[in-house]
């Protein structure tokens, strides 16, 4: 059994960007990582443009100008100005080659075609220069950059329609457990509604990763081996739910051994999620996640997410960690490290009731996980605790 930090380290040490890349239209690249640095095909902006609504001036030594023309955004005109002449111009309009500066309309007085300016004007003022954001031939985004809404829009603003990104990992989910039934069936004695398939699929979806396949395996060695074999055949990552503990009907460990999966670690000194397994088969990875739903999700966030992020070509280590004051006293004499469902509110974190690994109710309300290192603690209200922000949690 190893410590949480060691286990996370082993995940990170074993994960590299997938070698395969694909060229995709920009609108399919959200959350993808660039496989190569992107070269700017144009200057940005590609012409001198006005950043304000006002007047483009051909400067001279008086504060009076005659207005001779107009340039709206999108116009291709290039009026030729003499000293003391100006054009009405709007934000985004091309500044005529003969103009030296743009003055905002609020700082002028206009009487018909005569303009009086009320302040000093500096050469180049309110003009965005060609290439001032990015120059043609530059590499503004590096290999590995994750593409968010802003990144996609930036590429579009360069006129780029498609881009080479690291292929998204192919993930297969295997659900084990004879007691599990779908919510469409009537609950009968001994059965429970299956929930880990949607749990994992949704958590993957949040990372823009589509699940290749969800398969269900009975609690037998043969069924477990079959499901694993199929999964390894066409996935980069296999996530197994349940069956990895030491019960007589837990066959996942044995099946992994029979398939000669290389064990990277098995069992972590943590709660929830002690019997977590991480291994490798050829180029593929497998996580066997303990089946109690809160364990499954906790292990997903702490261990699976960093692996997926790295496979996608990203550099982050998974959930963002912050140090934040706890809103109440807290003590624990648990020797294992704890990941506790919690909520952050008003810049403090509160640990929720209902921490058992079978309980999703607290997880459903949580926006963070408090991490308590091994060996127990006694924390006074206001002490700082290491806290992992669940996806979409923003500290305000």
Q: Name the residues that contact ligand AMP, by CB under 6 A.
A: 175, 177, 179-180, 192, 194-196, 241-243, 245, 247, 250, 290-293
Burial (CB < 10 A; 0-12, 13-18, 19+), residue 314, is buried
Which of Mg ion, ligand AMP, none interacts with 100 (beta carbon under 5 to 8 A by kind)? none
Which of these, 37, 9, 23, lies nearest to 268 by C-alpha position?
A: 9
Which of these, 128, 129, 99, 127, lies nearest to 115 by C-alpha position?
A: 99
> How far is it, in rounded angstroms, from Cα 204 to Cα 202?
5
177 lies in the binding site for Mg ion (CB under 5 A): yes
Which of ligand AMP, Mg ion, none interacts with 93 (beta carbon under 5 to 8 A by kind)? none
Q: 361-380 burial, b if ≥16 CB within 10 A, otherwise e?
A: ebbeebbbbbbbeeeeeebe
Our CB check for Mg ion shows the closer of 217 and 324 to be 217
Our CB check for Mg ion shows the closer of 56 and 252 to be 252
> How far is it, in rounded angstroms, from Cα 338 to Cα 358?
15
Cβ-contact 121, 127 below 8 angstroms: no
User: 3-state DSSP call for residue 334?
Assistant: coil
Which residue, judged by CB position, is nearest to ligand AMP in the bound state? 291
Q: How far is the CB of 295 from ligand AMP (least distance, A)?
A: 8
Residues 242-281 that bind Mg ion (CB under 5 A): 242-243
290 lies in the binding site for Mg ion (CB under 5 A): no
Q: How far is the CB of 343 from ligand AMP (least distance, A)?
A: 24
Q: How far is the CB of 161 from Mg ion (least distance, A)?
A: 48
Which of Mg ion, ligand AMP, none interacts with 43 (beta carbon under 5 to 8 A by kind)? none
Which of Mg ion, ligand AMP, none interacts with 175 (beta carbon under 5 to 8 A by kind)? ligand AMP
Which of ligand AMP, Mg ion, none interacts with 179 (beta carbon under 5 to 8 A by kind)? ligand AMP
Cβ-contact 319, 389 below 8 angstroms: yes
Which of Mg ion, ligand AMP, none interacts with 292 (beta carbon under 5 to 8 A by kind)? ligand AMP
Which of these, 285, 205, 281, 280, lies nearest to 237 by C-alpha position?
A: 285
Residue ranges binding Mg ion (CB under 5 A): 177, 242-243
């Amino acid at each position: 059994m190893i410590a949480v930090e060691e286990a996370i380290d082993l995940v990170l040490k074993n994960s590299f960007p997938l070698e395969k890349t694909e060229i995709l239209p920009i609108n399919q690249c959200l959350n993808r990582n660039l496989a190569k640095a992107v070269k700017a095909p144009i200057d940005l902006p590609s012409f001198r443009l006005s950043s304000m609504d006002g007047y483009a001036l051909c400067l001279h030594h008086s504060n009076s100008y005659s207005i001779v023309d107009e340039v709206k955004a999108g116009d291709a005109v290039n009026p030729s100005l003499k000293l003391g002449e100006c054009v009405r111009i709007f934000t985004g309009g091309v500044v005529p080659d003969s103009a030296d500066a743009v003055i905002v309309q609020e700082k002028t007085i206009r009487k018909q075609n005569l303009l009086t300016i009320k302040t000093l004007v500096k050469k180049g003022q309110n003009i965005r220069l060609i290439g001032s954001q990015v120059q043609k031939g530059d590499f503004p985004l590096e290999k590995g950059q994750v593409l968010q809404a802003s990144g996609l829009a930036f590429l579009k603003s360069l006129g780029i329609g498609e881009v080479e990104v690291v292929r998204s990992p192919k993930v297969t989910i295997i659900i084990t457990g004879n007691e599990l039934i779908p919510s469409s069936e009537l609950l009968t004695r001994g059965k429970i509604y299956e929930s880990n398939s949607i749990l994992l699929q949704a958590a993957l979806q949040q990372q823009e990763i589509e699940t290749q396949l969800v398969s269900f395996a009975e609690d037998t060695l043969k069924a477990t081996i079959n499901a694993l074999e199929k999964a390894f055949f066409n996935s980069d990552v296999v996530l197994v739910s349940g069956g990895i503990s030491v019960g007589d009907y837990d066959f996942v460990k044995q099946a992994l051994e029979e398939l000669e999966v290389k064990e990277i670690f098995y069992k972590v000194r943590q709660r929830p999620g002690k019997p977590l397994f991480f291994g490798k088969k050829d180029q593929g990875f497998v996580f066997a996640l303990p089946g109690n739903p809160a364990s499954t999700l906790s292990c997903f966030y702490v261990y699976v997410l960093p692996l997926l992020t790295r496979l996608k070509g990203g550099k982050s280590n998974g959930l963002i960690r912050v140090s934040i004051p706890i809103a109440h006293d807290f003590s624990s004499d648990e020797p294992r490290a704890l990941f506790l469902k919690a909520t952050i509110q008003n810049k403090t974190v509160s640990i929720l009731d209902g921490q058992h690994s079978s309980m999703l109710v607290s997880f459903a309300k949580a926006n963070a996980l408090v991490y308590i290192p091994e060996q127990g603690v006694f924390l006074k209200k206001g002490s700082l605790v290491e806290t992992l922000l669940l996806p979409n949690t923003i500290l305000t």
